[in-house]
Amino acid sequence: MLLAAPLFAITGSQLGHQLGATYGRKLFSRPDSRIFNQEKVHRTEKWLKKYGVGKALILARFIPVVRTLINPLCGIVGVPAKRFFIWNFIGGLLWTDGIILAGFVLGEKLSGSVDKYLLPIIGLVFVLSIIPLALEIIREWRSRKYLS
């Protein structure tokens, strides 16, 4: 698992980046599309400039929806494939192996039935995954409020 999970996570992200670089501009050029629009591309460019490609890709791994969308968007905004691969590799390794090892350690330390701990642990992981996104939304809201 420690080898296969990062391999598949990294491969999937690379495919998303490649598809975004190859076909993405056509999908996001439609002005009235709800899912595919230029606003998402501009937000991604802003996020990548604000945090840098490395930090953005590593943080995105731990945020459920962002983890899926950032890969093709990085291809669309022109993040070079080699640079994307380096940070994708690091983020994929940290995310997959970190989750697997945390599960192993928790499984070894918990006595009794794991079932009674499973739902609270899933809830905790969900809350911890949402915190960075919530903080960014609050910061964005405050900066917009301050500028207006």
pLDDT per residue as tens digits for the range 23-45:
887 776 666 666 666 777 787 78
How many domains would you assign to the chain? 1
d(CA 71, CA 73): 5
For residue 129, being part of any structural domain is answered with: no
Find the domain containing 60 and state its range.
4-110
The pair of three-digit structure tokens given for residue 38, joined into one six-digit string: 């230029």
For residue 66, being part of any structural domain is answered with: yes
Mean pLDDT of the chain: 83
Residue 76: pLDDT band (50, 70, 90) is confident
For residue 18, being part of any structural domain is answered with: yes
For residue 27, being part of any structural domain is answered with: yes
Question: What is the pTM assigned to this prediction?
Answer: 0.70
Maximum separation of any 2 CA atoms in the chain, in Å: 56
For residue 144, being part of any structural domain is answered with: no
User: Do residues 48 and 56 make contact, with C-beta atoms less than 8 angstroms apart?
Assistant: yes
User: Do residues 105 and 6 make contact, with C-beta atoms less than 8 angstroms apart?
Assistant: no
